[in-house]
Structure 1
C-alpha cells in the first residue's frame, strides 16, 4: 500500500511538472474599455460610458472587404469589472497567455487609465494566477484616439516628465504594484518597460539626468526589499541613438543608449513601428521576424521576441482610410508564434519571454480576445504553439 502511494505521489509530482508552461507568453493590455472619467471631463469624448468601445462599435468599413467593426464575441464588456477580469484571466491561462503587460499612463502628475488594472484585474478573485507587469506608455497624448477629430495632431497632455514627477510615481509603482506576489520578475527584479525612451530622456533633461533618475529608481527598489528593477526598453524609432556618455566614445547607437542607462532587456510593442503596413499579413510578418537576427546582433542585452497579430487603426479615424494589414488569419499568426518560440529556444540563457500585441487592441485591430469571425482561433494558435507540448 505504501509503495502504491509513493508511485501515486511521484505521478502527481511529474504530472504537475509537465503541466508547467515553459514559456512566458505576455500580451499587452489596452485598458481603455471602461468609463474613464478623464475621457469625458478633459477630452469630451466617449459619452456612451463604455470608453473606447464606442469607437469600435461605431466603426464603418472604408473600402471593399474592410472588416469593420470587429465585434467581440463576449460583447462590449466593462473591463474594469473584476467579474469580467476573472473571465479574462481564466481564458488567457487556458490558452497559454500567462502574463499581461498593462499599458500604464501618468499625465499631469496623476494616473490615467488605471481603472482596469486597479478595479478590475487586481480585484479579480483569481488575479494571482496571472503574472503582470507595466509598460509606461509615456508618449504625448494627442487626439489620436478621438474618432470625431480629424486633426490628430492636437495635444491633450505632454509625455515628458520631470525628475520630481518620475520620483513620485515610481514610489506609487513600487508600493502598489512591484510588491504584489504576481508582479512579473526576471532574476528577482520586477520588470518595468518604457515605451518612448527618447521622450523620457528629453523630459529629464539629457542622458546624464535620465541615468541618475533610473539609478535612484533602482536604489528605491532595493530599499523596498527587491533585488532592483529590470528595465525593459521598447525597441523602435523612439529608442534614440545618442552620443554615449562614456569618455572618448563618440559612436551613436541604440546599444550605447540602453547600456549607459542600465537597461537589461528589449522587446517591441507593434510591428507597424518598423514594417510598413499596407500589405498582406504573411509578408508583413516575415519581414518583422527577419529582424530578430538583427536585434540579436546589434544589442548585448537580451531581446525578447515579439509577435503582432494585426494592424488596422481605422476606428479612430473619421476620414480617409488609414494603412492597414490585410489577410490576417489564425493560421498565419501561428507561423510567427513558432518563429518567436524558435528564437526563445535558441537563446536558453535568457528568460523565454514572448510579447504579443495584443490581448485587446480592438481599436487597432490587434486582439487575441475572441471575435465573431474567428471565435477563439487566435487563442487556439497560442495554445498549440506554447501550451500543447
Structure 2
C-alpha cells in the first residue's frame, strides 16, 4: 500500500500574496486568526513539532519527510500551479527539493488547475486573482518540459516506469485530448515508457470513462462533490453518493443558498461524513480513494466554511481502513491511497501534529498499515 499525502506549499511569502493581502502573508496568517465559532469547535489549532514554519528552510522540509516516513506515508503529492503561458506560482519548494536532492523522499505532482478567487480567503469579491488558462498544444509542451526534470528525478513516483501525474479538474480542460496526447507523446519521446495520468473525478459521474479519455486511473473526488454540491451536476440519485446528497441537500446545502452566499458554516459530524467519502462501487479502472482525517476551513472562510465536527483518531482509523480495503485488489504498483492532507492548516486538514492530538492520527496510519501487512 502506498499512501500519498497532499502537500500545500503556501507557507512562505510570495510577491502575489503580498500584493493581494498583506506583506508577509502565508497560510499561517489565516491559521493564527482562527476563532472558535461554537461550543466545542476545535479552533484555533496550534502546530506542535515545527511551530509556524517557513518552507524556504530546508531543515523544515527534511523534518516533515522524516516524520511522514516514520509513520508509513510513502510520499508527498505537491500541489503544482501552472496557469498557462509560463505563469507559475508557489513552485519554490518543489524546485529546491529538486535541486538540493533533499529530502530523500518520494514525491509527485497534482496539477491544481483552477483559477484563484478571493472568495477562498473569506472576502466577498468574486474577482479572479489569477486565471487558469488553457492555451493549447504549445503551452502543454512548455508545461511538460517544465516538469521533465522532476519526472526524471529518482524520487519521483512512477508506475511501471511511468511518471505519476494527477490532473485536479479534467472537466475544465476544453481540449483535453490535446493535453493527453501531448503529455503521452512527449513522455515517450523523452525516454519513459509513457506517463501515468490520473484524473480527479467523482464516481457520481458514471458517464466519464478515464481510459476512453486517455487516463490510467482516477482519484476519487467525493469530498469535492460533497463540498460544492451547488456547483456540481450531482443530480443523479441512481448512485450511492448521489442518493446521499439528494437526501441531505436540504439540511446541508439549502438550494436557495449557494457556497458564496451562505452566512453560516455548514457543520457535518465527521462520523457521518466518512460514510460518503469513499465510493462503495468498484470500477473497470484503478480508483484511488482519498481519506480525510478532518476538515474545517473556517480559518479561511469563516461564515462560508464547511466543518467536519468531532473528528477523532478512532473514527479516522475506520475511514482509513476502508481506503486500504478499496485498493487491495489492484496490482501492487497501483495500490495508492491518498491522504488529504499533510499540511493544509488553513482548512483544518493537517496530519502534521497539533497541540490537541499530537501524533495520534499518524499513529493510526502506522497501525493500520501494519495490520494490512499481516493479512
TM-score (norm: length of structure 1): 0.80
Matched, 1:52 2:27: yes
Higher alpha-carbon deviation: 102-111 or 326-335: 102-111
The answer for the alignment partner of 2:117 in structure 1 is: 142
Which one of the candidate residues 178, 187, 194 is aligned to 1:221?
187
Structure 1 residue matching 2:194: 3-state secondary structure: coil
Write the deviation string for residues 12-67 of structure 1: whole angstroms up to 9, x where unpaired: xxxxxxxxxxx1110000110111222114xx2142x2511111111112222222
Which one of the candidate residues 260, 267, 284 is aligned to 2:273?
284
In 1, the alpha carbon distance for the partners of 2:190 and 2:304 equals 49
Matched, 1:181 2:154: yes
Within 5 A, what are the aligned runs for 1:148-297? 149-151=123-125, 153-163=126-136, 164-174=138-148, 176-200=149-173, 202=174, 204=175, 210-236=176-202, 253-255=207-209, 258-269=210-221, 271-274=223-226, 278-289=267-278, 291=279, 293-294=280-281, 296-297=282-283
Write the deviation string for residues 179-228 of structure 1: whole angstroms up to 9, x where unpaired: 1001101121001100111111x2x3xxxxx2133212111111111111
Matched, 1:98 2:64: no
In 1, the alpha carbon distance for the partners of 2:43 and 2:100 equals 31
**Looking at CA atoms only, which structure, 1 or 2, has the larger radius of gyration?**
1
In 2, the alpha carbon distance for the partners of 1:274 and 1:160 equals 26
In 1, the alpha carbon distance for the partners of 2:52 and 2:25 equals 8
Structure 2 residue matching 1:287: 3-state secondary structure: coil
Matched, 1:336 2:323: no
The answer for the alignment partner of 2:368 in structure 1 is: 385
Which one of the candidate residues 41, 52, 69 is aligned to 2:44?
69
Shift of 1:254: 1.2
Higher helix share: 1
Write the deviation string for residues 71-108 of structure 1: whole angstroms up to 9, x where unpaired: 11121100232110010010000001111111110125
TM-score (norm: length of structure 2): 0.83
Structure 1 residue matching 2:134: 3-state secondary structure: coil
TM-align CA RMSD: 2.2
Structure 2 residue matching 1:233: 3-state secondary structure: strand
Matched, 1:308 2:282: no
Gaps of 5+ in 1: 1-22, 205-209, 242-251
Which one of the candidate residues 353, 377, 381 is aligned to 2:336?
353
Q: In structure 2, do the counterparts of structure 1 residues 323 and 274 end up closer, same or farther at CA, with 3 Å as the change threshold?
A: closer
Segments of 4+ in structure 1 off by > 6 A?
none
The answer for the alignment partner of 1:40 in structure 2 is: 18
In 2, the alpha carbon distance for the partners of 1:46 and 1:329 equals 35
Structure 2 residue matching 1:333: 3-state secondary structure: helix
Matched, 1:25 2:3: yes
In 2, the alpha carbon distance for the partners of 1:383 and 1:376 equals 11
Shift of 1:123: 5.3
